[in-house]
Amino acid sequence: MRVKCVICDSINELDDDLPLAKKLRNRPIHTYTCPECYGRIAANTEKRLATGNFRFFRTSSPIDEEF
């Protein structure tokens, strides 16, 4: 399936068998973030952790809560 990164609008092709592809199909509320943007967000999260302004979400994929 084709997915578009919500941050940089780049189009990527996801293997339909990937768990992420299934998740995006079944639950449209989930957004796709390309690996590059995902890495950027992870870096920002670390920064927030360092400043103490970070709140933990009880979820296996905290990135989904960002958008």
Quick check: 5 binds Zn ion (CB under 5 A)?
Answer: yes
**Which of 2, 3, 4, 7 lies at the binding interface for Zn ion (CB under 5 A)?**
7
Amino acid at 31: T
Is 37 a binding residue for Zn ion by CB under 5 A? The answer is yes
Helices (H), the chain: 19-26, 35-51
> Which single residue is written with the structure tokens 């990937």?
18
The piece of 14-22, 23-31, 37-45, 56-64 that touches Zn ion (CB under 5 A) is: 37-45
List beta partners, residue 2: 13
Contact residues for Zn ion, defined by CB under 5 A? 5, 7-8, 34, 37
